């Protein structure tokens, strides 16, 4: 049965070989595909099949109730930064009168198929109709648990936000609906949102694909939100990579007030280490950034890899105890929010 589901998933994700981005070559784009110029992703389709055939079976619940849904204010002003955990890596960031959504996913599945693929076990922590007016949507890369077309369509229909994403992801969105306005940018680009807020795209160690033949045809990026209330850092997915990109962003932007850092979907390490951090890696990245207030993410919503639900938080708490780190790492349940000190 597992092999049949894998085959169905692969068939459904046989995307076109055409380019998502036509632009000049650079140190991370060869005219056809993007790449990390320092440490390139070595897993391939056969590695994926090996993992799928040999993967460890772990039990997840079918459904977990949200303890309390967040009902956010319409806007937040002054030096306040309010962050709500919608779930997985979807956060509502409110500051400077702006409402920013990261990698928004309200769909039931992170999959190209409506009835197969990773299914969420807990509802989003903000009901869609309770969202305040959304000004900006950031999409870090094109994996299905980060770029959710159905949610983007709903957000565009209701809010008409600025949708900002790395190069090539605009083509994917336009293949579903050409009327949706999308802005795409490269590593190193700066985008002015208001007099008090700028966005900066920088490298992160990851890769992209929505099918078998479109690997790395769209770019991925880390996001720094530069504000007069302090810098905000968001990573959708990244491997640790000896901390090289985190250290460089700390050097480039100085102190961060708060960071949202992924730490889930990390087993088996032989397959996941390049692209996903585990809790120990996340703590190291937190320290590389100068130990800002840090909200862990990317765990216990979708069953993506081999770890059981709850294992990631247990591993994080063990690591925090070993390293005597408590006050700066803020664990948010789905539906909880955080007023950043």
Pairing label, strands 90-95, 82-87 = antiparallel
Predicted local confidence at residue 42, as pLDDT: 80
Closest to 135 (Cα-Cα) out of 90, 80, 194: 194
Closest to 216 (Cα-Cα) out of 265, 274, 161, 177: 274
Closest to 74 (Cα-Cα) out of 90, 105, 96, 97: 97
How far does Cα 11 stand from its chain's mean position? 25
- Give the whole-angstrom CA distance, residue 182 versus residue 168: 10
Q: Which domains does the chain possess?
A: 2-13+47-339 (3.60.15.10)
Pairing label, strands 256-262, 82-87 = unpaired
Closest to 328 (Cα-Cα) out of 222, 225, 256, 247: 256
Predicted local confidence at residue 11, as pLDDT: 46
Take residue 308 and report the two structure tokens written for it: 């059981």
- Give the whole-angstrom CA distance, residue 149 versus residue 114: 12
Torsion of CA 187, 185, 131, 331, to 10 degrees: -10
Neighbours of 184 (CB within 10 A): 22
| pLDDT by 10-residue block (mean), the chain, 341 residues | 49 61 95 94 78 81 96 97 98 98 97 85 98 98 97 98 98 96 98 98 96 92 98 98 97 98 94 94 97 98 94 95 87 98 96
Predicted local confidence at residue 49, as pLDDT: 77
Closest to 84 (Cα-Cα) out of 26, 124, 136: 124
- CB contact at 8 A, 185 and 135: no
pTM of this structure: 0.94
- Give the whole-angstrom CA distance, residue 87 versus residue 299: 9
């Amino acid at each position: 049965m597992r092999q049949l589901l894998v085959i169905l998933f692969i068939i459904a994700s046989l995307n076109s070989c055409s380019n998502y981005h036509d632009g000049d070559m650079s140190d991370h784009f060869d005219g056809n595909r993007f790449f990390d110029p320092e440490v390139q992703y070595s897993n391939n389709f056969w590695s994926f099949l090996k993992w799928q055939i040999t993967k460890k079976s772990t039990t997840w619940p079918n459904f977990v109730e949200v303890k309390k849904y967040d009902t956010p204010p319409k806007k937040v002003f002054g030096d306040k930064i309010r962050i709500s955990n919608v779930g997985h890596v979807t956060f509502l960031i409110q500051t400077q009168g702006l409402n920013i959504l990261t990698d928004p996913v309200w769909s039931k599945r992170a999959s190209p198929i409506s009835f197969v693929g990773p299914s969420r076990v807990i509802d989003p922590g903000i009901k869609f109709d309770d969202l305040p007016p959304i000004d900006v949507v950031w999409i870090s890369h094109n994996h299905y648990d980060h770029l959710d077309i159905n949610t983007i369509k709903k957000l565009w229909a209701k809010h008409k936000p600025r949708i900002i994403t790395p190069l090539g992801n605009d083509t994917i969105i336009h293949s579903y609906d050409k009327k949706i306005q999308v802005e795409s940018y490269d590593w190193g680009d700066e985008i002015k949102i208001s007099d008090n807020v700028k966005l900066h795209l920088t490298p992160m160690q990851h890769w992209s694909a929505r099918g078998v033949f479109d690997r790395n045809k769209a770019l991925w990026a880390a996001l720094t939100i530069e504000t007069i209330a302090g810098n905000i850092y968001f990573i959708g997915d990244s491997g640790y990579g000896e901390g090289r990109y985190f250290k460089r962003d700390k050097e480039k932007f100085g102190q961060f007030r708060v960071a949202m850092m992924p730490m889930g979907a990390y087993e088996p390490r032989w397959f996941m280490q390049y692209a996903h951090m585990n809790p120990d890696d996340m703590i190291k990245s937190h320290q590389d950034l100068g130990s800002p207030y840090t909200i862990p993410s990317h765990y216990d919503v979708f069953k993506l890899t081999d770890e059981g639900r709850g294992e990631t938080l247990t591993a994080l708490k063990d690591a925090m105890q070993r390293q005597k780190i408590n006050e700066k790492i803020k664990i948010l349940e789905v539906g909880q929010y955080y007023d950043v000190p």
